[in-house]
Amino acid sequence: MFEEINGSELWSKIERINKGWSDDTKYYIEAEDNQKFLLRISNIEKYEEKKKEYDVISMYSKLGFEMSKPLGFGICNKQQHVYMLLMWVDGEDLEQVLPQLKIEEQYRLGSEAGVILKKMHSLEVPPEKIPTETKISKKKAQIQRYIDSNVRIADDEAALDFINKNIEKVWSKPPVYQHGDFHPGNLILTAEGKIGVIDFNCWEIGDPYEEFYKLESFGTEVSIPYCIGQIDGYFAGNIPEEFWDILAVYVAHASLYSIKWAEKFGQHDIDNMVNIYKKSIEHYDNFNRRIPKWYKKV
């Protein structure tokens, strides 16, 4: 499978990586000169999609932060697969290490992550690539799928009513290049104490504020100081009121639709998403408040 990849004859170690939700097959690679790589393999049908992803990663790599930088892209395995070779970001999974750090350090790392996210959003989107439609209709359709599903939960009316009344507020900001899955699970703490960014396969062009709802889904369980820091760092401490209004809509939507989304993975994942919904309801006081209870100035 790998022999058509330039330089693969120098690889001394190849290990399959099973972490994550991506459809890509991922490998950890070590070369004879001790260089480390991440190899992502996809079906050839995804060539155009993966080429766009590689191009976006290439743009991000010029912004001056630690990340899995692009090293090679092409076709392999007798035209059956497309590959993407990236630099391996050495360090510890931020999601694992955050709870072990002092609160001040958790906040500092969150702030650094927020600054990085702002840099990513600073890339200019060419006019011809700006979506002609917002995702509002898609969000409405997703919520309808949840309503019509067998996994709908009791006492969800307040969240549904809040979404209904406020969904038009999303996509009010100029679209940006999104990472698409920016939270501690896709960040690395390097040996130098810096944030490294990985897993760009969910990138898209969209609302910059949409990037933040995964703090509620996957960040607050790990480190609230980190979550506060990411918001503060992104806005340099000057958070616009509209941000909280829009974020609350994204959180409400995700907290319900994720239950339907998890259905294909089984009951364990459904239960996990229900628990996230319950946590969100508590943080947002049944969506009677816009700023979550966990956000406090550090």
- Binning pLDDT at 50, 70 and 90, where does residue 19 land? confident
How high is the pLDDT of residue 270? 96
Q: How many helices (H) and strands (E) does the chain have?
A: 9, 11
What domains does the chain contain, in order, with CATH numbers?
A: 8-87 (3.30.200.20), 92-283 (3.90.1200.10)
CA distance 170 to 134: 9
Evaluate whether 222 touches 95 at the Cβ level (below 8 Å).
yes
CA atoms lying within 13 Å on the CB side of residue 150:
4
Structure tokens at 84: 């993407």
Residues 6+ apart with CB under 8 A from 83: 5, 39, 40, 41, 42, 72, 73, 74, 75, 76
How high is the pLDDT of residue 237? 84
Residue 1: pLDDT above 90?
no
The predicted model scores a pTM of 0.93
Residue range 52-81: mean pLDDT, rounded: 96
Going by C-alpha positions, the residue among 144, 138, 172, 171 that lies closest to residue 160 is 144
Residue 16: pLDDT above 70?
yes
Residue 159: pLDDT above 70?
yes
How high is the pLDDT of residue 185? 92
Residue 22: pLDDT above 80?
no
Q: For residue range 108-152, what is the model confidence (pLDDT) as tens digits?
A: 999 999 999 999 999 999 999 999 999 999 999 999 999 999 999
Q: Collapse the DSSP code of 290 into the 3-class scheme (helix H, G, I; strand E, B; otherwise coil) and give the result.
A: coil
- Binning pLDDT at 50, 70 and 90, where does residue 297 land? confident
Q: For residue range 204-216, what is the model confidence (pLDDT) as tens digits?
A: 999 999 999 999 9
Evaluate whether 183 touches 219 at the Cβ level (below 8 Å).
yes
Distance (Å) of CA 82 to CA 5, 44, 55: 10, 5, 14
Q: Collapse the DSSP code of 242 into the 3-class scheme (helix H, G, I; strand E, B; otherwise coil) and give the result.
A: helix
Q: For residue range 166-211, what is the model confidence (pLDDT) as tens digits?
A: 999 999 999 999 999 999 999 999 999 999 999 999 999 999 999 9
CA distance 61 to 59: 5
Q: Collapse the DSSP code of 264 into the 3-class scheme (helix H, G, I; strand E, B; otherwise coil) and give the result.
A: helix
